Chain A
């Protein structure tokens, strides 16, 4: 399959450090991720696993310093984002990749109306494409964008300020804005987390309908496994700065292989009851001085000697199912 199609986005061995008091945080330790057109990827991991840092690197908005990219490349349609000139980067950010944030309130400017903000996005995108739009035209485009996200009375909405909208409506506006440039990749960072359960459900359903009908490529960053299950078709599980497992979404939930993935899925409280699993022992590592070998080994119930010495590579062990764990590599191969 990978022979026919080139990945839309490929992250290769991305490693990032952050300077802090007393040394450096080794936040990303060789992240590998591949996304093909039309894929909907869930990047799952707990707070501090580096999923947001990864996406900041993709958009090249990492503060540097204190951040420092040690090695790795981020290829967007074959071109390394990290080495792009600013003008090319603008294009990538403008129409290649759009982003929806966790907190729609912070993502909107409180002193401009929704219409002004949407028009600004649409206009600047048109400029990047050397087009000029009349105010009337950009207004119409904004109007259509709002209709697409099922907002009632879009004319009035365009004249409103963010504070006049509910949280759910603001998130819809943010989605409309992100989609108004027809991006090739939509990155959604915890798109419903700050909202109420019933409202989150509406937003997620809207998002799913939109991306499915447009066959859009999506990266969903979240720590909520249930949301991943409903929205994506491939999952990347991240732990302490690297990808530990990736598979089709169904497969991850039915047959998780990495001990961390297993632990993570087991700790989700179930509607069916049965109590709460005891969780994964220990805590996420100190990034100043992360564990040697596999970074999960101090918390792993199946830890072996080799795990303390070597970092397991992400290896494909089944069709479309890769895992970074020595439990699934034959011993001879390991000893070489």
Chain B
């Protein structure tokens, strides 16, 4: 690219088709560059692989699981508490159900919980954070952030327990309870970013030119918060899965006979250490999922990190 100082204005001869080509080429390059930055750390790629595998396994659980029926009301006392073998890869539980099949189905509810909670939590959390941050030091800021503080003061698990004990204990109620307590974290995160971004010259340029508030919030500020949001989401999915498992562990989440990793650990704990596989494998599944999402989060952060010279 060269700066010519000729003042003669010749009409550009670019056709619409050429412009579209340019756009496509730049998009391709952007994807290539992002993948390069993400994949420079092999551990991030591993995280991505784990997450994709887990999602695929959970999505196709009915087809992948060797004994799909074992995810429902099923008993086979003849084969109860069998150790891992060629027939039952990860053994069977106290009433003879295949643990591998149940883990696959259990991951479904775990992931579902993660996805539902985050999609309930992120949009309002981010929006409030943008507003409070942009209107820093006004009553809007004070109102939003004080309410946020109040919600932040209640531990999500405790509230989930409270809600679940008042309402019917099931997966949906626990998800609502967790969501109610989770949005403030996104408000906090985006608030911090937005208060800094509002002073950037590109925001000021938009203001003095008369751009609408919506433009400034969503086109100028929001795109610069995406990276930390995605990173946090990736790590939060892991957290929500842990909390969901805890709720199930204490009997406030997924209700039997539907499988959930938390319930499986709770049931299996009674048979430790002799029939260790009943509890250990579901626990390992949680570890793998959580680790996968955390590593993925690191990769996303690297991907958005600005290039150094």
Mark A residues whose CB is within 8 Å of B.
18, 20-22, 48, 278, 281-283
Asked whether, in the complex, the Cβ of A283 is within 8 Å of the Cβ of B36, the reply is: no
Q: How far is the CB of A53 from chain B (nearest CB, A)?
A: 8
In the complex, which of the residues A20, A21, A22, A278 contacts B5, with contact meaning CB atoms closer than 8 Å? A278
- Establish whether residues A21 and B36, one from each chain, have CB atoms under 8 Å apart when the complex forms: yes
A18 to B308, CA, bound (A): 11
- In the bound complex, do residue B33 and residue A283 qualify as a contact, i.e. CB atoms below 8 Å apart? no
B124 lies within 8 A of chain A by Cβ:
no
The yes or no answer to B307 lying at the interface (CB within 8 A) is: yes
Q: How far is the CB of A289 from chain B (nearest CB, A)?
A: 14
Does B32 sit within 8 A of A, measured CB to CB? yes
User: Which chain A residues lie closer than 8 Å to B33 at the CB level?
Assistant: 21-22
CB-CB nearest 10 A-B residue pairs: A21-B36, A21-B33, A282-B2, A283-B2, A21-B37, A278-B5, A283-B1, A21-B32, A20-B307, A281-B2
Using a CB-CB cutoff of 8 Å, which residues 1-31 of chain B contact chain A? Answer: 1-3, 5
* Chain B residue at minimum C-beta to C-beta distance from A281: B2
Majority SS of interface residues in chain B?
loop
User: Which residues of A have CB within 8 Å of B307?
Assistant: 20-21
Query: Cβ of B3: which chain A residues have Cβ within 8 Å of it?
Result: 283
Q: Please list 17 pairs of residues, one from A and one from B, whose beta carbons are closer than 8 Å in the complex, sorted by A's number.
A: A18-B309, A20-B307, A21-B32, A21-B33, A21-B36, A21-B37, A21-B307, A22-B32, A22-B33, A22-B36, A48-B309, A278-B5, A281-B2, A282-B2, A283-B1, A283-B2, A283-B3
Enumerate chain A residues within 8 angstroms of B2, measured Cβ to Cβ: 281-283
Residue of A nearest to B307 (CB): A20
Shortest beta-carbon distance from A12 to chain B in Å: 24
Q: How large is the interface on B (under 10, 10 to 19, 20 to 34, 35 or more residues)?
A: 10 to 19
**B interface residues, Cβ below 8 angstroms from A:** 1-3, 5, 32-33, 36-37, 307, 309
Chain B residues with CB under 8 Å of A18's CB are: 309
Give the CA-CA distance A281 to B3 in the complex, in Å.
8
A21 to B36, CA, bound (A): 6
**In the bound complex, CA of A101 to CA of B57 (Å):** 55
Shortest Cβ distance from residue A203 to the other chain B in the assembled complex, whole angstroms: 26
Give every chain B residue within 8 A of A278 (Cβ-Cβ).
Answer: 5
Query: B5 contacts which chain A residues (CB < 8 A)?
Result: 278
Contacts of A283 in B (CB 8 A): 1-3
Determine the distance from Cα of A39 to Cα of B1 in the docked complex, in whole angstroms: 40
When C-beta atoms are compared, the residue in chain A nearest to B1 turns out to be: A283
Q: Which residue of B lies closest to A278 (CB)?
A: B5
Known: A18-B309, A20-B307, A282-B2. 9 other contacts (CB 8 A): A21-B33, A21-B37, A22-B32, A22-B36, A48-B309, A278-B5, A281-B2, A283-B1, A283-B2
Task: Give A20 to B32 CA distance when docked, in angstroms.
Answer: 12
**Cα distance A283–B33 in the bound complex, in angstroms:** 23
Give, as a whole number of angstroms, the nearest-CB distance from A284 to chain B.
12
Q: With CB as the reference atom, state the residue of chain A lying closest to B3.
A: A283
Q: Which residues of A contact B32 (CB under 8 A)?
A: 21-22
**CB-nearest residue of chain B relative to A66?**
B308
